[in-house]
Amino acid sequence: MSNKFPKDVLKKAYSLMCTARAMSDIYEKNKEVTSKYVHATSKGHEAIQLAVGLQLTKNDWVAPYYRDDSILLGIGIAPYELMLQLMCKKDDPFSGGRTYYSHPSLKRDGFPKIPHQSSATGMQGIPTTGVAMGIQYQENEGLTKPKKGEEPVVVCSFGDASITEGEVAEAFQMAALKKLPILFIDILFSIRSSSFYIC
Ligand SMILES: Cc1ncc(C[n+]2csc(CCOP(=O)(O)OP(=O)(O)O)c2C)c(N)n1
Ligand SMILES: [Mg+2]
């Protein structure tokens, strides 16, 4: 893989970083409206999340958690669509307005697949490790034959506190033991120190 990124990719990443930050600021400025429901945002994590989101393809799976709205922008979800969930609207593409902001689940042509997950921190670890195990099984058994460079990968993102949970340790150990095609991302800031969190 080249370590030089084309300028248009860098420009897109920067533009989406600014979009994500502007959205956080808009939510904060309008807290009387947006604080009707819980939300946190990717403030401070935009770069790492866009580095991930922009590289995912329709072959992949991703489990962003509630602070990963920049990953969602990176895979191609529109700000308007994210705000539909923020405001609990029925056209929200993830859950028809039934779940909090940045609680995604998606099966849309051309996009990475997002398994449904709850608000319980760390719960995405075991199901996504299971997806990676399924991908490896299919490839080993010759049930799927992805082209070179198009092999699916699973991305699972956590906050730093959630990775202290036992079930997350179980997921990490199984992924390492079986060399599963999964990338875990651990975001190191607290919702309370670096980002915006309203109940
Ligand atoms: C199993 C579980 N315990 C407690 C909570 C309440 N809770 C919501 S966010 C949060 C903080 C999680 O911290 P971390 O994983 O570091 O993520 P951050 O929001 O800091 O990125 C907690 C304890 C929860 N949602 N699920
Ligand atoms: Mg944290």
Burial class (CB in 10 A: 0-12, 13-18, 19+), 88: middle
Give me the residue spans of the domains in the chain: 7-187
Q: Is the CB of 162 under 6 A from ligand 1?
A: yes
Give the predicted TM-score (pTM) of the model: 0.93
| 138 pLDDT tier (thresholds 50, 70, 90) | very high
| 35 pLDDT tier (thresholds 50, 70, 90) | confident
Task: Copy the structure tokens of residue 152.
Answer: 């699916």
As a CATH number, domain 7-187 is 3.40.50.970
The answer to whether the beta carbons of residues 49 and 74 sit under 8 Å apart is yes
CA of 109 to the centre of ligand 1 (A): 31
38 Cβ contact list (under 8 Å, min separation 6)? 100, 101, 197, 198, 199
105-120 pLDDT, tens digit each: 999 999 999 999 889 9
54-108 pLDDT, tens digit each: 999 999 999 999 999 999 999 999 999 999 999 999 999 999 999 999 999 999 9
Q: Which residues of 145-180 are buried (b: 16+ CB within 10 A; e: fewer)?
A: eeeeeeebbbbbbbbeebbebeebeebbebbeeeeb
| 189 pLDDT tier (thresholds 50, 70, 90) | low
CA of 73 to the centre of ligand 1 (A): 22
